Amino acid sequence: MEQILINLVSGALGGIGAGKSSPTFDLGMAGNVISGLVGGGVLGQVVTLLLPSIMAAVQSGNLSIGGIVSQVVAGGAGGAILTAIIGAIKNKAAA
């Protein structure tokens, strides 16, 4: 459960960061947060599937700092990437 929460929070922050970094990617605060949540949740889960050691640490109750950092990075990157993609598509369609 903690893992998903970390992914969602860091994804939302990544989405906000990506949206505010460029007007091309900005979806408004709510749009940035929502796309960040989705991107962070999805990419965070993909990273967990690809790195079994993180999943083992979570299941054993020994989630290490390295595991938390990798989840934060994955969630933040996922949120930023999805926000950037959606923002670019939205602005391209509006032009």
14-41 mean pLDDT: 90
**Is a pLDDT exceeding 90 seen at residue 33?**
yes
Q: Quote the CA–CA distance of 53 and 45 in Å, as a whole number.
A: 13
- Burial of 62 (C-beta count, 10 Å sphere; 0-12/13-18/19+): exposed
Mean pLDDT of 37-50: 82
- Domain boundaries, given as residue ranges, for the chain: 2-88
Q: Over 90: is that where the pLDDT of 59 sits?
A: no
User: Quick one: pLDDT at residue 30?
Assistant: 92
pLDDT at residue number 34: 92
How far, in Å, CA of 54 to CA of 47, rounded? 9
Q: In whole numbers, what is the pLDDT of the chain averaged over residues?
A: 82
| The pLDDT of residue 35 | 92
